[in-house]
Amino acid sequence: MANFKKNIMILLIWLILCLIIISISAILVYFKLINVTPNSLYIFLCGLIVFLLLGFLSGNIKGNKGLHSGITFSVFILIILLLIQFLGFETKFSLSIFTKYVIFLLTGGLGGILGVNFKPMVN
């Protein structure tokens, strides 16, 4: 039961951080400070930040096996992204999408490694 509560806490904190990033991005797009296209570098960098934060939070809260926990949560989120992207938007799978998702997985793992080395945020 304790692991379930920790996992829910990880996802809630991640959700709040993602909402902050999305809100800032929406404001920047609304005021035309950035131009967003599907292959935009800005979207890729936001994805890297989100997966780094997700890995950091999961590694920090679990307290050990940061690489494993970061990659596990990244896989969970990537499955949701794959379902949305391929079932909702008729996008074809390509090498560039595969490369982007592998980089996101590795970033989540790196965040998990970094998160283990910090003082626990949630007990």
Chain centroid to CA 41: 16
Q: What's the pLDDT score for residue 123? A: 58
Reported as a single tens digit per residue, the pLDDT across 6-53 is 767 767 777 787 788 778 888 887 888 877 776 778 778 888 988 998
Q: What's the pLDDT score for residue 109? A: 92
What amino acid occupies position 67? L
Reported as a single tens digit per residue, the pLDDT across 87-112 is 766 677 788 888 988 999 999 999 99
Cβ neighbours of residue 77 under 8 Å, at least 6 residues apart?
Answer: 51, 54, 108
Burial letters for 38-51: b for 16+ Cβ neighbours within 10 Å, e otherwise? eeeeeeeebbbebb
